[in-house]
Amino acid sequence: MTTDSRYKQYQSPLSERYASKEMCYIFSDHYKFSTWRKLWIALAEAQHELGLQTITEAQISEMKRFQDTINFETAREYEKTLRHDVMSHIHAYGEQCPAAKPIIHLGATSAYVQDNTDLIQMRDALNLLLAKLINIIKILSDRAIAYKEIAALSFTHFQSAQPTTLGKRFCLWLQDYLFDIEEIETRVEKLRFLGAKGTTGTQASFMLLFNNDTEKVRKLDDLVTKKMGFDHFYPVTGQTYPRKIDSQIMFCLAGIAQSSYKFSNDIRLLQHMKEAEEPFEKDQVGSSAMAYKRNPMRCERIAALARYVLCNCLNPAFTAASQWFERTLDDSANKRISIPEAFLAVDGILNIVLNVAAGLNIYPQVIAGNLQNELPFMVTENILMEIVNAGGDRQEYHERIRKHAIASADRMKKEGAKNDLLERIAEDPAFFIIRAKVGEISDPHRLTGRSVQQVEEFITQVVSPILKQNSQRIDKKWIPTLHV
């Protein structure tokens, strides 16, 4: 029997099974606390540059030496007594940097390291998701072009409808993800830094440090912001950055979950019809009981994780709504869970989407067979137009077609027979005048409208420019091997 402690406590499936190492690292303790130290260094540097005599270059150099070498156990011991994570890490950092200890966190409040780090994590995590979305649209656009002329049944209400092309269907999935890319780009562009705002956002502590020199305090905000890779900071805040930002970003993630849910559901339905099939490994088992089964488990997992994200997006919304004045701490425990896990879940979703989109098996013969089985019903309007052009009475021929269609459908349902509607029409003497055209009229490619052109125009005019603009993000490494 194992004594490994890892098997005796809860492990999050998001970090253990679904999310990538890159996303897990962004929300790891090392990333978090090393960023705290970078923020303390940036603050000390800015204060030194603005003439604060109590801070020296030697102290800053000492802080930099231990920026990434974090004494986690020491911090953990301090927290047992202090019951405050920021103060615990200040003391732990101070043990490593005795000369700098007196000036670490000078003038700042806990939100300076906590909130600014949250913003950095969300920015980096959004950029990671953006890279994966770019690779998804690259895969889907290549397939849209490859399948642009494959005529297929379309569905409204999951009932057979006017034919489309398989490539056009890929474009519908593509377009949803383009909306998500636009939303991420907007969120990243508009994301700002908290900066150095002090206890209630008034910067009063920094005003004391700089003898009420308001220009230096304003410059401090700007310097820290630039040093940490942001162009702008929020001009007015309480102690924290506005919690509405979390809610906006979460709904951005929910949009990705929606697109992926839709994609996965469509693939599951196509797999039921045997027109398409998600990747299935050589030794993969579909069912513990039914050995023949090839269940769409990857797409089902996309749907499952997407539901989690859609429900979770309400957490930051309630948190934003319930903050009191300059801040309350009822956001902290919720944020520690809801924000990282939403990013990990969406990252896991996109890992699977990449895998499914890249490895999707398409069966053109089945697609053609399913279309042919329903096609006679689809072409009846075209037949009616042809007969009217030849001088026939629309109402009379509409009734004739209706009766033939009902008879054919009734035979299909009761006898399991094939669709013989076109044969019935061809054998009806009333349709003799267009009999020679029935085969031409029933060519499925005559029924797909501008689907082929729509695919070409959409890819050329909309998708390709985005891929060109983001060419540095296209990388085969984003097509992962998944846990089954």
Catalytic residue IDs: 157, 287
- Annotate 277-288 with b (16+ C-beta within 10 A) or e (fewer): bbebeeeeeeee
Nearest CA-CA partner of 65 in 101, 21, 97, 39: 97
The 3-class SS string of 105-120 reads CCCCCHHHHHHHHHHH
Residue with tokens 């999707």: 360
- Which neighbouring-strand residues pair with 155? 160
The whole-angstrom distance between residue 311's C-alpha and the CA centroid of its chain comes to 15
Q: Which residues contact 402 (CB under 8 A, 6 or more apart)?
A: none
In one-letter notation, the amino acid at residue 309 is V
In one-letter notation, the amino acid at residue 363 is Y
- Which neighbouring-strand residues pair with 151? 165
Residue 232's SS3 state is: coil
DSSP count for the chain of H helices, then E strands: 21, 4
C-alpha angle with apex 14: 129 to 285, nearest 5 degrees? 105
Nearest CA-CA partner of 278 in 303, 306, 305: 303
Structure token digits, residue 190: 């508009």
C-alpha angle with apex 437: 434 to 440, nearest 5 degrees? 155
